[in-house]
Amino acid sequence: MSNEIQECGLTQEVEQALELQMMKEKLSKLLLGEDMSGIGNGKGHVCTAQAISNSMTNLYANVFGQFKKLEPISQKQAMLWKREKNWLLSSCDYMVDQYGKPRLDIANNIPGLKKLDALLLEILDGFTNNEFEYKDKSNLESDIRSPPLGLFKQRYEDKWWLPMPCLSRFGLSENCRRILIKGRESANQIHKAVKAINNDVLAEIEIPEAYIATLPKCGKQLVGEAVHRYMSTASQSDFLDVEVLKYLDIKSEHEALYIADKMEASMCIWKRKNENSSKSSWMGVVDAKNENLAIRAKSVLSALKGRYSTLSQTILDCFKIENNKDVGHAILESYSRVLESLAFNIAARIEDVLYIDECVKNEFDMEMKKVVAEEMKEIEQRLMENKIHEACVEFKLSRLEKLKKIEQLHDHIFFWILEEIT
């Protein structure tokens, strides 16, 4: 009895092993896309999807191909259907919708840029019922609302392409001025935010070889002898980036951009020297010096950009934009750059209106002071005339009283003489 049980167990194990081997062969053929339809089109292989479809069709034909009566199928057919059907359907356990996950920089920056974009448009939408309007400079003299050009000639002589905001002679109301100031503050905050994003994106873009080819071999000739000596010899505690800027004595934003280009180029030279130099022991001092110079050049550049927050893009930035091949970086950089420009222009145009409002109100105050001064002078003159008149009247009255007293005295003397005679 025990032998029969053992033989039965061995038989089941053999059958399971054979079935497992058979299914392995079938699955391998499915993965390889072998044609098991029996049609034999000569190509030998089909795609995996078609092979699975053919296998399901063949399984159905084997199990239910002779289905003609309303009766249960045999146990063997039921096991065959269940087993092979589950194996074929098991592929679906690993079929899921592959949701594209945005790149980290895209996911972090695009939603924020869209919100800032909407805020800028919201600021512009608020300028519907303005207390000011724009006129070309050629038509200002004939416009009643136009302020005198002499007030703004110095400010607008370099902005000939911009129309001039025109206000009433009383200037803006307090409510309108409050709205403009709030809009300017919002635009400035947005400008800082998008500029920070743009700087981060540009920092991620690799320095193109086309820019490197334009650099000299030595960074010293870019920053100058005196600046290079200070940057290389000053101790860590004594080095101050503001001292470098103070020595450079930058007078304008144009000069600041020129210095930024030089400092950025020298920083790239020192960085590349540090990265490309050999790692031998005698080169360690040189490597440390180049690394230190690159760090200090970056510090000076950051201080320069902090002082001139509206500094335009450097030569390196332009090279990066022109030679960038990354679509994500291109979208982020260009989107943040145009929003930066829009925010800056909105703040600048608001500043123009507020400046003209200030000038118009100052001019109006000066006119009012002149009018008041003239009126006060006239009043004083009238008061003086009235005082003189009153003095004259008082003098006349006092003179009449004296004459009356004299007449009374004369009458008294006359009557006394008559009494003496009689």
What's the pLDDT tens digit per position in 332-362?
Answer: 888 989 888 899 888 988 998 898 888 888 8
Per-residue pLDDT of the chain (422 residues; tens, 9 = 90+): 555 545 555 577 777 777 777 777 776 666 665 555 454 454 556 667 667 777 777 887 787 776 655 557 788 887 887 888 777 777 767 666 667 677 888 889 998 999 999 899 988 888 887 888 887 766 655 554 455 555 555 666 667 777 888 887 788 888 888 999 999 999 999 999 999 999 999 999 899 889 988 888 887 778 887 888 888 777 777 777 777 888 788 888 888 888 888 888 888 888 887 777 655 444 555 667 778 888 888 888 888 888 887 788 899 998 988 888 888 888 888 898 988 889 988 898 899 889 888 888 887 777 777 777 777 777 777 667 666 666 555 555 565 565 565 566 555 555 555 565 55
* pLDDT score at 369: 73
Q: Distance between CA 43 and CA 27 in Å, rounded? A: 19
Residue 230 to residues 60, 224, 236, 239, Cα–Cα distance (Å): 87, 10, 11, 8
Query: Which part of the chain is CATH 1.20.58.1310?
Result: 105-116+170-362
Listed as own residue / partner, the contacts of 15-24 with beta carbons closer than 8 Å and 24 or more positions apart are 19/83, 23/83, 23/84, 23/87
* pLDDT score at 198: 93
Residue 306 to residues 231, 341, 384, Cα–Cα distance (Å): 19, 17, 63
Q: 146: which residues sit within 8 A by CB, 6+ positions away?
A: 135, 140, 164, 166
Q: Cα 291 to chain center, whole Å? A: 31
Q: Find out whether 152 and 359 touch, Cβ atoms under 8 Å.
A: yes
* Residue 205, φ and ψ in degrees, nearest 5: -75, 135
Query: Which part of the chain is CATH 1.20.58.2010?
Result: 2-94
Q: Return the bridge partners of 164, or none.
A: 135
Q: Distance between CA 332 and CA 313 in Å, rounded? A: 15
Buried b (16+ CB within 10 A) or exposed e, 186-207: bbbebbebbbebbbebbeebee
Buried b (16+ CB within 10 A) or exposed e, 220-250: bebbeeebbebbeeeeeeebebeebbeebeb
Q: Return the bridge partners of 165, or none.
A: 134
Torsion of CA 391, 393, 399, 404, to 10 degrees: -150
CATH (residue range 2-94): 1.20.58.2010
253-276 and 315-323 helices, crossing angle to 10°:
60
Q: Return the bridge partners of 133, or none.
A: 166
* pLDDT score at 366: 75
Burial class (CB in 10 A: 0-12, 13-18, 19+), 52: middle
The upper half-sphere exposure of residue 329, i.e. CA atoms within 13 Å in the direction of its Cβ, equals: 16
Question: What residue ranges in 243-363 does DSSP mark as E strands?
Answer: none
pTM over 0.85: no
Assigned fold of 105-116+170-362: Methane Monooxygenase Hydroxylase; Chain G, domain 1 (1.20.58)
pLDDT in tens, 390-400: 655 555 556 55
Name the DSSP class of 134. Answer: E
* pLDDT score at 281: 45
Name the helix (H) or strand (E) containing 177: helix 174-204
Q: Find out whether 275 and 288 touch, Cβ atoms under 8 Å.
A: no
